[in-house]
């Protein structure tokens, strides 16, 4: 008797046929007819097992791939990130000679930015801690010689640790006063408007007042825009902890259009007497001919950035000798504006030595920079220095005033 199925909403059943297998046997799958291409329970179970195994295989592949990505990512993050960078700046200079009114043409390096090359890198150590280093060499691109006292890494050479606590660095580093002038000066302490010439805080690019040897520094940047920087440079002279040492500190505030900075520095046992140094040339070597001179310098500066126009200003006070026998007061005002595709900046610097009769030096400068690309620039600059009868800024004799014109190419990499 054929199997019966009840009709919906009816008392009479529907007749059904006995199921047959694909081979024609009526004894196969008597209770489970074929439907939608799905076979018997055995086939269904087999397919289910295969699908399960395939799913497990795919899952294992994903787990293995994820593990490899994590492993590779962890390995790459643990490796150091090292960058090679630099600036090559060379151009023509035409100006008054140091001891006469004759015009002297020359080829110069670092007229707008100091020529340099360096390496810097970081390594993530985990837990928010990282290591960093910087090795930076200054050189003269016009003749290929090393600068900064013929040092291989005369600009910077340090290694340090960074974390939520701030940064600690060990080695040759820039000082707090130098950083203020570098940040605020529109000429970035280079070229015809170089504020480094006027703010008599050191011997120049190789001195212990702009860069400190054997230094340990600490810096931190807080979330409210306030930053701190402090350091001590060890003199490393037998029998005297203070001799040739230096202490410095600065505070900064950066928020909105304002960048305000102040710094103080005290150096012991510094020889500032050489006529070839900016300070010696400024006041004359006869006044600073002895070694072991103490120098105290304080500066405050600010940049107000309105976008197309920036205003710059610095005030400095430097005391030289025991008890501040020689006092210098320095001033700088400047402006940076967009001019076409390029940038123009101008500044006025003054150094006033109250102890000297006619001890005022004024420096005026104008510069225009035109970008050929993001890394290559043309520039032209002009400067004028006026000295009182008792001083010799940018000159080898007192009271001499002069002009200079510079033009060149600067490339960064």
pLDDT digits (tens, 9 = 90+) for 237-250: 887 778 889 999 99
Computed over every residue of the chain, the mean pLDDT equals 81
Longest dimension (CA), the chain: 135
Element (H, E) at 121: strand 116-126
92: β partners: 107, 407
Beta 326-339 vs 342-353: how paired, if at all? antiparallel
CB 361 within 8 A of CB 387: yes
pLDDT at 227 over 90: yes
List phi, psi (to 5°) of 394: 60, 30
pLDDT at residue number 34: 35
pLDDT at residue number 9: 53
pLDDT at residue number 19: 47
Among the four given CATH numbers 2.130.10.10, 2.40.160.10, 3.40.50.1580, 3.40.50.300, the one describing domain 89-116+124-132+141-148+160-412: 2.40.160.10
pLDDT at residue number 164: 96
352: β partners: 329, 360
pLDDT at 185 over 60: yes
pLDDT at 12 over 90: no
> Measuring CA to CA, which residue among 295, 304, 275, 333 is closest to residue 99?
275
pLDDT digits (tens, 9 = 90+) for 300-338: 999 999 999 999 999 999 888 766 578 889 999 999 999
pLDDT higher at 369 or 148: 369
Tell me the percentage of the chain whose pLDDT exceeds 90: 53
As a whole number of angstroms, the distance between CA 173 and CA 208 comes to: 10
pLDDT at residue number 39: 46
As a whole number of angstroms, the distance between CA 168 and CA 162 comes to: 7
Element (H, E) at 218: strand 211-221
Q: What would the DSSP string read from start to end of 299-347? A: EEEEEEE-SSEEEEEEEEEEEESTT--EEEEEEEEEEEEEETTEEEEEE
> Measuring CA to CA, which residue among 201, 332, 169, 181 is closest to residue 266?
201
CA 255 to chain centre: 18
pLDDT at residue number 335: 99
pLDDT at residue number 303: 99
pLDDT at 92 over 90: yes
pLDDT higher at 275 or 344: 344
pLDDT at residue number 146: 96
pLDDT at residue number 59: 55
pLDDT digits (tens, 9 = 90+) for 140-180: 999 999 998 899 999 999 999 999 999 999 999 999 999 99
CB 283 within 8 A of CB 322: no
pLDDT at residue number 393: 76
Tokens of 302: 């600010």
pLDDT at residue number 114: 95
pLDDT higher at 279 or 34: 279
As a whole number of angstroms, the distance between CA 357 and CA 360 comes to: 8
As a whole number of angstroms, the distance between CA 86 and CA 102 comes to: 35
């Amino acid at each position: 008797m054929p199997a019966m199925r009840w009709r919906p909403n009816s008392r009479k059943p529907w007749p059904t046929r006995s199921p047959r297998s694909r081979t024609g046997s009526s004894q196969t799958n008597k209770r489970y007819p074929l439907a939608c291409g799905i076979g018997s329970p055995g086939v269904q179970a087999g397919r289910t097992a295969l699908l399960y195994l395939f799913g497990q295989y795919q899952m294992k592949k994903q787990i293995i791939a994820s593990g490899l990505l994590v492993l590779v990512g962890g390995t790459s993050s643990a490796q150091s990130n090292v960058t090679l960078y630099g600036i090559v700046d060379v151009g023509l200079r035409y100006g008054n000679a140091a001891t006469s009114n004759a015009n002297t043409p020359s080829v110069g390096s670092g007229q707008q930015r100091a020529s340099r090359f360096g390496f810097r890198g970081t390594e993530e150590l985990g837990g928010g801690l990282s290591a960093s280093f910087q090795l930076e060499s200054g050189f003269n691109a016009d003749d290929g010689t090393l600068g900064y006292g013929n040092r291989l890494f005369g600009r910077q050479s340090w290694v340090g640790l960074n974390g939520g606590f701030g940064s600690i660095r060990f080695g040759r580093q820039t000082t707090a006063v130098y950083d203020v002038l570098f940040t605020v000066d529109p000429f970035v302490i280079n070229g015809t408007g170089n504020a480094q010439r006027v703010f008599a805080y050191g011997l120049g690019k190789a001195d212990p007042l702009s860069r400190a040897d054997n230094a340990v520094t600490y810096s931190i940047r807080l979330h409210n825009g306030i930053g701190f920087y402090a350091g001590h440079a060890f003199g490393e002279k037998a029998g005297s902890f203070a001799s040739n040492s230096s202490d410095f500190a600065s505070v900064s505030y950066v928020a909105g259009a304002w960048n305000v900075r102040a710094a103080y520095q005290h150096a012991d046992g510094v020889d500032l007497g050489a006529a070839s140094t900016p300070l010696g040339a400024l006041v004359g070597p006869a006044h600073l001919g002895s070694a072991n001179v103490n120098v105290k310098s304080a500066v405050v500066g600010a940049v107000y950035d309105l976008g197309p126009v920036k205003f710059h200003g610095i005030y400095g006070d430097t005391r030289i000798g025991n008890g501040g026998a020689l006092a210098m007061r320095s001033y700088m005002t400047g402006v940076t504006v967009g001019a076409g595709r390029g940038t123009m900046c101008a500044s006025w610097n003054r150094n006033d030595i109250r102890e000297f009769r006619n001890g005022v030096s004024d420096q005026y400068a104008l510069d225009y920079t035109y970008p050929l690309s993001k890394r290559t620039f043309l520039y032209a600059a002009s400067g004028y220095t006026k000295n009182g009868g008792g001083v010799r800024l940018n000159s080898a004799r007192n009271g001499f005033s002069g002009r200079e014109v510079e033009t060149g190419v600067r490339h960064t990499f």
